Amino acid sequence: MSVECNSTGSDTSVFSSAQSMENTPESTPIHCNEQTAEPSAKRIKKSTMSLIEEAMKYDMRSEYHLPTTFLRERRKPVKVETDDEDEQVNQKPKRKYTRKTSSSSRRVGRPRKDVTSNNTIKPIKPERKAKTKTDTKPIAVINKSKLKSKTTTKPKTKSKSKPKTNSKSVSNTYKDQTSEDNNSDMFLTDLDNCIENTSFFNLPLIRNRSGFVKNITSPKIFVENPDENNFVPLKSVVFPDCEERFPVHANIQKFGYDALLEIGQNIESAVRVYFPKRYKPRGEKLLEELNDTFEKADTPAFESVMHRFNMLVSEIPHELLIQELEVCPKIPVSFIHSLLHVCYTRSIYPNARKLKKYTSFSNFVYGELMPDFLTSVYRRCGLSSDSVFMDLGSGVGNCVIQAALEFGCKLSFGCEIMDSASDMTELQLKELENRCNYWGINLPKIEFSLRESFVNNYRVNELIPKCDVILINNFIFDAPLNKQVEKIIQNLKPGAKIISLKSIRPPGYSINYDDMDNIFNRLKVESFKLPENSVSWTYRSVGDYYISTVQDTIDESIFCPPIIGRIRKKESIHYTK
């Protein structure tokens, strides 16, 4: 690696000559112009080299500001104190190695040996403890399944006939995000988590059966070479003359679709939400049998319960059903999430590969927020039926349609620039409208500005002064785009709330007396711990999320902000004379 004397300037960097630092002076490369220098200048000092090596190390703090890379995958997951299953997933299994103290244990390359009763020597294989079922599952596969979007899943399912979920399939946004309900015997989990019934049902449509037109997407899209003999009908509880056929006996299914789970969720939703009190005991008895057959993977018995459910639905008087829906006090959130999941599978699953066509680390990187996280953060912001909700960078529209369906916002608006995500937004919105009609649900107003940027967008600028809650997934926005976001939110009204994964107001921001009207001066920024399984690109907690509230007066904290180091350590300021 010696440098020729006829070269002009040093073309070799310090890092390229790192291997020769420990060599003798004769082998150390010396520039021709430095041959007359002192001998001590021929080498880099050890202290300097240690600083260089320290600078080349990966900084773990940047892990919380980058999407998933191989560096993050290699890091040991943080232990999560939730339940036993999550702890086993997040902890890598450790092998215990026994080390002998004898001199033979220091020999390299020789297997351990033992002497049998016949004085013959045989090698001893290391004993391994029996692994549990959770240990036998590869950690990589578990992590990939954790990255999937979440919905309500049936706990304790051990069906041999059901197809295995492909870990490479599209993210399932509406799967259950927690395993707290492992002891539950229901298809819908957490039935105590409900919303108030404020015009949730479309009673005029339910009364006028002739006005309903069935136009929902069939599950045939999940089956290769579908055969009608393998499909079993399930009647609609609202319109018994209509039915949806499910591939109960099909073995080859795409995207890890589970027809039995969806059937169970539909039947339980009908019994617990729609059935009149007179028919609920019979419906709950069917649910018990359905759970037993589901656990045992008894497909013929499962099909028999479906037929009896269809007969029971046909017996319910239509007027009695309407009376039940008029006085229904609450709607389970899990029912809404399961409905959103069905719309997601029908519209996004077949076209999911198109979402991967973007430039890494750019403003167009696609990512989703989980429905359970959205439910909690929307409630924290006070989202209601009188609110106007806006999502800048709405992706396939998950956050927008959940705000409309779950909280009944008078207007839910989303803006998306990517063509592929815009196409799937239209498909998902159409499927949601058809599914809501199928279940007799009233869908509030939803509006999208697709294939357009939210920068210099006329409709965005028009709705900003009316907006109550705005969502900005700025996790990977660059500085120019963040500057544009600052301009857009200037006209937000007092009391409006901004949800973001990074603080809208930069850390260490101080007031600019030449720009007193800047909205940053009136923002009250609050940070909250982002729970695990809140985002689609990782199951880990990626730090904090922020809710910024627009105030009437200037925020006092910006007059004398602490230094950046104290901001990170959350130390108080000590004044001195």
Please tell me the predicted confidence (pLDDT) of residue 8: 44
Question: E strand or H helix at 499, and its extent?
Answer: strand 497-500
Terminal Cα-to-Cα distance of the chain (whole angstroms): 59
**454 annotated to a ligand binding site:** yes
Residue 238 lies in a domain: yes
* Residue 369, marked binder: yes
Q: Does 394 belong to an annotated binding site?
A: yes
Residues near 219 by beta carbon (within 8 Å), at least 6 away in sequence: 244, 245, 246, 247, 257, 259, 262
Residue recorded with tokens 């301009």: 487
Tens of pLDDT, residue by residue over 282-315, are 999 999 999 999 999 899 999 999 999 999 999 9
Whether 391 has a binding-site annotation, put simply, is yes
Task: Give pLDDT tens digits for 181-190.
Answer: 433 456 666 7
For residue 450, the cross-strand partners are 416
Q: Does 216 or 96 have the greater pLDDT score?
A: 216
Both 394 and 335 in one domain: the answer is no
Question: What's the Cα-to-Cα distance from 465 to each of 388, 450, 459, rounded to whole Å?
Answer: 10, 21, 11
Asked if residue 107 is part of any domain, the answer here is no
Identify which has the larger pLDDT, 365 or 27.
365
Q: Residues 468, 500: contact at Cβ < 8 Å?
A: no
pLDDT value at residue 369: 87
d(CA 365, CA 352): 14
Rg (CA), the chain: 31
Co-location of 424 and 308 in the same domain: no
pLDDT at 185: 56
Phi and psi at residue 226, in whole multiples of 5°? Answer: -65, 140
418 lies in the same domain as 468: yes
- Looking at the structure, tell me whether residues 270 and 308 fall in a common domain: yes
Kind plus residue range of the DSSP H or E element containing 307: helix 299-315
**How confident is the prediction for the chain on average, in pLDDT?**
74
Q: Assess contact for 427 and 351: CB atoms under 8 A.
A: yes
Residue 399 has pLDDT above 50, yes or no: yes
> 508 among the known binding-site residues?
no
Q: For residue 488, tell me if it sits in a domain.
A: yes
Provide the domain count of the chain. 2
Among 133-137, 387-391, 483-487, the range scoring the smallest mean pLDDT is: 133-137
Instruction: Record the tokens describing residue 347, joined without a space.
Output: 């519209």
**Residue 366 pLDDT:** 56
Residue 252 and residue 230 in contact, taking contact as beta carbons nearer than 8 Å: no
Looking at the structure, tell me whether residues 332 and 377 fall in a common domain. Answer: no
Establish whether 186 is an annotated binding residue: no
Q: Is pLDDT of 229 > 80?
A: yes
What pLDDT shows up at residue 377?
A: 94
Residue 326 covered by a domain? yes
Asked whether residue 271 falls in the same domain as residue 398, the answer is no
Q: Do the domain assignments include residue 130?
A: no
pTM exceeds 0.85: no
Of residues 275 and 250, more confidently modeled: 275
pLDDT in tens, 66-113: 344 333 344 444 444 444 444 444 454 444 444 444 444 444 444 444
Question: Domain holding 544: CATH number?
Answer: 3.40.50.150
Q: Is 196 annotated as a binding residue?
A: no
| 224 and 306 assigned to the same domain | yes
361 and 331 together in one domain = no
**In the structure, what pLDDT confidence band is assigned to residue 569 with cuts at 50, 70 and 90?**
low
Asked whether residue 256 falls in the same domain as residue 388, the answer is no
Closest C-alpha among 372, 417, 380, 379 to residue 398? 372
Last residue of a domain, one of 339, 371, 398: 339
Please check if 223 is assigned to a binding site.
no
- Percent residues over pLDDT 70 in the chain: 62
Residues 238 and 380 in one domain: no
pLDDT at 570: 52
Helix (H) or strand (E) holding 498: strand 497-500
Judge whether 395 is annotated as a binding position. yes
pLDDT category of residue 257 using cuts at 50, 70 and 90? confident
CA distance 567 to 557: 12
Residue 229 belongs to a domain with what CATH number? 1.10.260.170
Name the burial class of residue 131, with classes exposed (0-12), middle (13-18) and buried (19+) by CB atoms within 10 angstroms of its CB.
exposed
Say whether 416 counts as a known binding-site residue: yes
Fill in the amino acid letter for 335: F
Whether residue 393 is annotated as binding a ligand: the answer is yes
Residue 367, domain member (yes or no): yes
- Number of alpha helices (DSSP H) and beta strands (DSSP E) in the chain: 17, 15
- Which of 59-63, 83-87, 535-539, 542-546 has the highest average model confidence (pLDDT)? 542-546
179, pLDDT greater than 80: no
Name the domain boundary from 290, 309, 339.
Answer: 339
Domain that holds residue 184: 150-339
Residues 220 and 188 occupy one common structural domain: yes
pLDDT of the residue at 543: 81
Bridge partners (DSSP) listed for residue 194: 332
What backbone phi and psi angles, to 5 degrees, belong to 88?
Answer: -70, -30
Residue 50 lies in a domain: no
Q: Which residue has the higher pLDDT, 338 or 163?
A: 338
- Provide mean pLDDT across the span 167-196: 54
Mean pLDDT confidence for 24-53 = 55
Q: Which of 74-78, 147-151, 383-387 is predicted with the least confidence, judged by mean pLDDT?
A: 147-151
pLDDT attached to residue 474: 85
Tell whether residue 442 is among the known ligand binding residues.
Answer: no
Q: Is residue 56 part of a domain?
A: no
pLDDT digits (tens, 9 = 90+) for 404-444: 999 999 999 999 999 999 999 999 999 999 999 999 999 99
Tell me if 361 is assigned to a ligand binding site.
Answer: no
Domain boundary among 339, 370, 389: 339
Weakest-pLDDT range from 104-118, 183-197, 328-342 = 104-118
Residue 509: per-residue pLDDT: 84
* Residue 396 marked ligand-binding: yes
Residue 47 annotated as lining a ligand binding site: no
Q: Determine whether the annotation assigns residue 517 to a binding site.
A: no
User: Is 463 part of any known ligand binding site?
Assistant: no
pLDDT tens-digit map of 497-531: 999 988 899 887 888 788 888 999 999 999 999 88
CB distance 403 to 380 below 8 Å: no
Best-predicted range by mean pLDDT (26-30, 102-106, 216-220): 216-220
478 with 392, same domain? yes
Owner of token pair 């549990």: 132
